[in-house]
Amino acid sequence: MRFDVLTLFPAMFHSFLEGSIVAKAIKKDALEVSLVDFRDFTFLKSRQVDDYPYGGEAGMVIKPEPVFRAVEFLQDNDKSIPLIYFTPQGRPLTQAIVKQYAKEERVMILCGHYKDVDQRVRDTLVTDEISLGDYVLSGGELPAMCFIDACARLQPGVLKDIESANSDSFEDSILGYPYYTRPVEYQGMKVPEVLLSGNHKKIQEWRKQKALELTRQRRSDLLDEK
């Protein structure tokens, strides 16, 4: 899977791409990430990519020209490549969306900055607008990293045991259950007896019950959707 990331701050991605699951995916050739500084596509010698919004308001807006030129360069006449723009106005990111895009061969991500990008970019080039949550960040780089990480771990051969991913939160539309490891007792806190029983049927029943309890407490909306 290949990601083309359009960003004004490519250096933000360097340590991210060199660590953990993402680095493993890249090493296994399961993932490729190309960083594109769209300042390189501006018409201006100053490399300026933003300007004041028409109609007046505080903040700056990314101009359309450098984004259009960068995307057209990456597409190379292949307009089927999806372009994701992370924005608070987008649809909430879910595991289902991650699984959908993890099957794509190539995806472009536009990292916004400043107040916004020119609406003509969103109307013409962007194929999907996604929100990481009901809050505002200074740019799209962090959401892009989260999204790449989520897709990377689903690529074949990246995780040692894919069943580990299949038991994560949201895989069954509910939150995940609690996990315990050694020691059996720590500072008076004990591992639940059922997990030590060796009875796999009871363990699965306990896990399902705990997952439902946690979902009911923290994300009852997920149960309403089922």
Residue extents of the structural domains in the chain: 2-152, 170-225
More confident residue, 168 or 116: 116
User: What CATH number matches the domain at 2-152, 3.40.190.10, 3.30.160.250, 3.40.1280.10, 3.20.20.80?
Assistant: 3.40.1280.10
pLDDT category at 45 given cuts 50, 70, 90 is: confident
Average pLDDT, the chain: 94
Rg (CA), the chain: 22
Q: How confident is the model at residue 64, as a pLDDT?
A: 97
Over residues 182-210, mean pLDDT: 97
Which pTM was predicted?
0.90
Q: How many CB atoms lie within 10 A of CB 134?
A: 7
CATH number of 170-225, picked from 1.10.1270.20, 2.30.130.10, 3.30.930.10, 3.30.565.10: 1.10.1270.20
Residue 189 CB partners (closer than 8 Å, separation 6+): none
Q: What is the pLDDT of residues 132-179, one digit of tens each?
A: 999 999 999 999 999 999 999 999 999 987 666 666 766 777 999 999
In sequence order, the β-bridge partners of residue 129 are: 85
**61: β partners:** 51, 116
* 115 to 42, 53, 82, 137: CA distances (angstroms): 18, 9, 23, 11
Quote the CA–CA distance of 37 and 62 in Å, as a whole number.
13
Q: Determine the 3-state secondary structure of 88 from DSSP.
A: strand
pLDDT band for position 224 (cuts 50, 70, 90)? confident
